[in-house]
Amino acid sequence: MEKKPWWKKPVFIAVIFILFGTLGTSLFVQTGAAIAPQPISIHPKPHFLQSLGLNGEWLEQATAFSERNRGIGYISCVNETIVWASAFNGDNPGYPCQDFTKTTDGGITWNAATVPDAVNQYFSMIFALDATTAWAPLYAHQNGVMGIYRTSDGGTTWVRQDTAVFSSVHSFPDCVHFWDESIGWCMGDPADGYFEIYLTTDGGTTWVRIPQDNIPAPLQNEYGMIGSYCVVGDTIRFGTNLGRLYKSNDKGLHWTVSQTPLRSYLKPTFKNETHGLVFDINSVGSPTIAETSDGGLTWHSIDFTGPCFSTDLCYIPGTVNMYMSTGSTANTSGVSYSLDGGHTWMEYPDMVGIPLFALGFTQGKIGWAGSYNIDEFTAGIFKHLPGPPAPAFSIEINGGKGLTVQIQNVGDAAAATVTCDVTISGGLFISPKTFTGNQETLESGAAFTVVGAPKGIGLGLLRPLPTISVMVSCMEGIAAEKSIQAKIFLSKITLL
């Protein structure tokens, strides 16, 4: 039975870079040559809580796997105390792994176990409804049983729900999601000419495949990505290896598809019905990120600054516009965050160089990032603990006839006595060169706009080229600044 190559699945691509480096090429082109698995380079983190910064800190926890180098490929957060996570074999990602781990006390203790009767299978992901009920798509690298498995006793026993067939020559289960104990959705790669999508209204006892007419046809050699989906309300989106985004507004019954600016392995993450990001998961180096503000009708590539990683990316629930990314490859390991919807990224210094995989977050900026364990009692996952509430600012500069600067409080606390100073230097200006805006109180998520109409000449052939500099500050001691060059002719401003 022909299957999607396992090394094209996102969780394993990152592992290959770490495990084998330049040996990866010879591993896949040589036949009959036995190559011993290379040990993972573990970066232990001290077992104490670092001092909390404004955007939180990470605390190492032990995932409790008895086998070393179990990596965390997917995290499902029920709430701030109940979390499930599925694993992969970090010593050799080509070996099947049915291990998972779970906490019911916020990660103080994790309990690891294995899905029984699932030999030669791998986790695509895991979805948990509560402390006892979870579903997981499991796939087989070689010919074998695969499909959706469910546990209702906390993971002690699992049952394959065989009405989600996944038995075609091209079947490959990728994702599963439930809105409650009854209503759920799962999907897999195209089989028999269209994506294999099922719905259930009885917890998966009976899955019904969606008719082909309800799903736009896949392109040649197009397939889905394991765990690469997001749900907001009744709306589901999943990405493909060709940069396309499938969308359903009715819990999976009817579908549309759109091409994003990406052309490779795509993962979506949306904060609401209209605004979200897509990125090319496990790209080499920095990812490509595209943004939509109209639910995916139009997309714009983001020319971001700072380190954004390509192993995983997610929106942080309940925040104004905060996203996080993880990296796991050589020289790009760690975690970074953005407070302005992916345009500006900052690293957590204490996490630099630590290979990190899946992200899972719940309300209150509480979440986890998967890594590798050292043994049953050491390492494997990191918990994010939020810092004290504080304001933070994003700055958007727009040209045209005159100049507008929008200041938004993207933090989680109100800001008092906010001042925005805009300075234009360079060029042959008449006046004014400086203007200011003030806001007595700026609540979390709120914004205000400063408008200016400078007049003068500052074209590209004249030096110095005009520079627009914005400085924002507030009574709480939080500040932000941004500068951009521009061409100015009379009152028309063109940003560079």
What pLDDT, in 10s, does the model give residues 136-157? 999 997 767 899 999 999 999 9
Comparison of pLDDT for 198 and 463, the residue scoring more: 198
Over 90: is that where the pLDDT of 494 sits?
no
Helix (H) or strand (E) holding 140, with range, is strand 134-140
Instruction: Supply the range of the domain harboring residue 475.
Output: 393-495
Over 60: is that where the pLDDT of 28 sits?
no
Report if residue 281 sits inside a domain.
no
Report if residue 428 sits inside a domain.
yes
Q: Which residues 6+ apart lie within 8 Å of 489 measured at CB?
A: 457, 458, 459
Q: Answer whether 288's CB lies under 8 Å from 319's CB.
A: no
Q: Answer whether 426's CB lies under 8 Å from 466's CB.
A: yes
Q: What are phi and psi of 7, to 5 degrees?
A: -75, -5
Determine the Cα–Cα distance for residues 352 and 71; give it in Å rounded to an integer.
Answer: 18
Q: What are phi and psi of 318, to 5 degrees?
A: 85, -5
pLDDT for the residue 460: 59
The whole model's pTM is what?
0.88
CB-CB neighbours of 302 under 10 Å:
20
Report if residue 255 sits inside a domain.
no
Helix, strand, coil shares, percent, the chain, to 5: 5, 45, 50
Which tokens go with 166? 């996944």
Helix (H) or strand (E) holding 335, with range, is strand 332-338
Q: Which of 140-144, 204-208, 314-318 has the lowest mean pLDDT?
A: 140-144
pLDDT for the residue 443: 97
Looking from the CA of 214 toward its CB, the CA atoms found within 13 Å total 16
Distances (CA, A) of 358 to 61, 244, 361: 15, 22, 10
The pLDDT-based confidence of 20 (bands split at 50, 70, 90) is very low
What pLDDT, in 10s, does the model give residues 362-412? 999 999 999 999 999 999 999 999 999 999 999 999 988 888 999 999 999
Report if residue 477 sits inside a domain.
yes
Report if residue 408 sits inside a domain.
yes
| Closest to 324 (Cα-Cα) out of 271, 260, 393, 392 | 271
Question: 3-state SS string over 420-446?
Answer: EEEEEECCEEEECCEEEEEEEEECCCC
pLDDT for the residue 381: 98
Report if residue 113 sits inside a domain.
no
Q: Answer whether 150's CB lies under 8 Å from 161's CB.
A: yes
Report if residue 479 sits inside a domain.
yes
The pLDDT-based confidence of 54 (bands split at 50, 70, 90) is low
Which tokens go with 241? 């290896």
Report if residue 149 sits inside a domain.
no
Over 90: is that where the pLDDT of 56 sits?
no
CATH number for the domain that contains residue 439: 2.60.40.10
- How many domains is the chain built from? 1
The alpha-carbon radius of gyration of the chain (Å, integer) is 24
Q: Which residues 6+ apart lie within 8 Å of 211 measured at CB?
A: none
Over 50: is that where the pLDDT of 284 sits?
yes
